[in-house]
């Protein structure tokens, strides 16, 4: 299926459908994830735990691990408590609360297989429960190690996008432009950009997708920053649009950047989008300050890509 994107060309839609939504939608979140929620499957089929654990923030992952560790120890401490404190040697406390806490720390020793201290299991029930917990501990820490390795070893394009896209003077016309830069120290080479606009067409009652022609769509090195510009000429699908027009059409500027991660020698991708409230008219970006340090390296502040000035 193809749809018209300008006066002379056709462009296939990107997989988001052509429905003209009654409510404002955003297809790509600011973090680059696709803003689609899939339902219809039952139970655990709706869950992708590995993907969720490898994509959530590092702080959330640590909290999940700590919560799982604590809940598991509380569960087995309760099991041991129900088996009976008399089935554990070295448990000399008389208070019920102290007994439970001693069994909790006994569970932590069993789960991590570090070896028993002064408390140890006696009898079949206590030994069987501790053996099961030891097995779960080995499997659980193996899974946690795999998830951490997957997060740190996955090549990625860690790009920083300017907070706003600007409609700024460009040569003798205007242009839609935004800036990107590499946030980390590894290099991205053969970087390519693809920019598409999605908007509601009130005449056809469909959502249309138009490819935005770029001034430059590929650079060899993303060493400093890159201002990506779409010239708003006579062939541009957004010629004459104001921010109000972007809002009226529920437009979204969707960006796909592809590059080669020089460290892993693998192709990586980055996604981002701008909505109408993130577009500023009659403004231009401020030049990035570039200075050489005492070792001869060029130093820039990556957060400067957000800075712009409004034109009179």
Query: Residue 156 class from Cβ within 10 Å (0-12 exposed, 13-18 middle, 19+ buried)?
Result: middle
Q: Do 149 and 160 belong to one domain?
A: no
Going by the DSSP 8-state scheme, the letter that residue 94 receives in this structure is -
Q: What element of type H or E holds 15?
A: none
Q: Helices (H), strands (E): how many in the chain? A: 5, 18
Q: Do 168 and 302 belong to one domain?
A: yes
In a domain, 208, yes or no: yes
Q: Do 142 and 164 belong to one domain?
A: no
What pTM does this model have?
A: 0.73
Residue 174, pLDDT score: 94
Residue 280 tokens, joined = 């500023």
Identify the domain boundary among 153, 170, 193: 153
In a domain, 36, yes or no: no
Q: Do 57 and 146 belong to one domain?
A: yes
In a domain, 97, yes or no: yes
In a domain, 2, yes or no: no
Profile the chain (312 residues) by mean pLDDT over runs of 10 residues: 40 68 80 78 73 85 92 95 88 82 91 82 91 93 88 80 94 94 85 93 85 93 90 93 93 93 86 94 89 81 90 84
Sign of the dihedral through C-alpha 122, 126, 132, 135: negative
Identify the CATH number of the domain in which residue 237 sits: 2.60.40.1400
- Contact 54/154 with Cβ under 8 angstroms? yes
Residue 1, pLDDT score: 35
Identify the CATH number of the domain in which residue 130 sits: 1.10.287.70
Exposure string for 8-33, b = 16+ CB within 10 A, e = fewer: eeebebeebebebeeeebebbeeebe
Question: Tokens 């099961």 belong to which residue?
Answer: 132
Q: Do 139 and 180 belong to one domain?
A: no
Complete DSSP assignment for 226-278 = EEEEEEE-TT-TTTT--HHHHHHTT-EEEEEEEEEETTTTEEEEEEEEEEGGG
What's the domain count of the chain?
Answer: 2
Q: Dihedral, CA atoms, 100, 105, 108, 114, nearest 10 degrees? A: -140
| Crossing angle of helices 124-153 and 96-111, rounded to 10° | 50
Q: Do 181 and 285 belong to one domain?
A: yes
Domain that holds residue 78: 43-153
Q: Which 3-state string (H, E, C) describes 23-73?
A: CCCCCECCCCCECCCCCCCCHHHHCCHHHHHHHCCHHHHHHHHHHHHHHHH
Q: Do 72 and 146 belong to one domain?
A: yes
Cα distance between residue 305 and residue 28, in whole Å: 21
Sign of the dihedral through C-alpha 294, 299, 304, 309: positive
Residue 78, pLDDT score: 94
- Contact 189/182 with Cβ under 8 angstroms? no
Residue 44, pLDDT score: 67
Identify the domain boundary among 128, 153, 178: 153
Residue 5, pLDDT score: 40
Q: Do 165 and 141 belong to one domain?
A: no
In a domain, 138, yes or no: yes
In a domain, 18, yes or no: no
Q: Do 214 and 275 belong to one domain?
A: yes
In a domain, 28, yes or no: no
Q: Do 142 and 178 belong to one domain?
A: no
In a domain, 22, yes or no: no
Identify the domain boundary among 124, 153, 182: 153
Q: Do 105 and 71 belong to one domain?
A: yes
Q: Do 131 and 203 belong to one domain?
A: no
**Rounded (5°) CA angle 306-272-25:** 115
């Amino acid at each position: 299926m193809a749809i018209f994107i300008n006066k002379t060309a056709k462009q296939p839609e990107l997989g988001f459908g052509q429905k003209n939504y009654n409510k404002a939608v955003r297809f790509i979140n600011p973090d680059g994830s696709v803003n689609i929620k899939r339902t219809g499957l039952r139970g655990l089929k709706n869950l992708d735990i590995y993907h969720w654990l490898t994509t959530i923030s590092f702080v959330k992952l640590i909290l999940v691990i700590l919560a799982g560790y604590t809940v598991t120890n509380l569960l087995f401490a309760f099991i041991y408590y129900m088996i009976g404190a008399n089935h554990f040697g070295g448990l000399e406390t008389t208070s019920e609360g102290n007994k439970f806490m001693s069994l909790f720390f006994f569970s932590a020793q069993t789960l991590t297989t570090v070896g028993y201290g002064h408390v140890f299991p006696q009898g079949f029930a206590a030994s069987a429960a501790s053996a099961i917990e030891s097995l779960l501990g080995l499997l659980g820490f193996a899974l946690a190690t795999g998830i951490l390795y997957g997060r740190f070893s996955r090549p990625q394009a860690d790009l920083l996008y300017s907070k706003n896209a600007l409609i700024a003077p460009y040569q003798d016309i205007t242009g839609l432009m935004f800036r990107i830069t590499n946030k980390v120290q590894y290099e991205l080479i053969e970087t390519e950009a693809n920019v598409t606009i999605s908007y509601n067409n009130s005449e056809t009652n469909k959502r249309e997708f138009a490819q935005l022609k770029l001034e430059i769509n590929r650079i060899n090195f993303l060493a400093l920053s890159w201002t990506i510009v779409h010239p708003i000429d006579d062939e541009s699908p957004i010629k004459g649009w104001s921010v109000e027009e972007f809002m009226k059409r529920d437009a979204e500027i969707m960006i796909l950047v592809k590059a080669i991660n020089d460290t892993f020698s693998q192709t990586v991708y980055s996604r981002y989008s701008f909505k109408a409230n993130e577009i500023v008219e009659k403004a231009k970006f401020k030049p990035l300050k570039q200075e050489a340090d005492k070792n001869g390296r060029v130093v820039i502040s990556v957060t400067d890509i957000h800075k712009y000035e409004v034109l009179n």
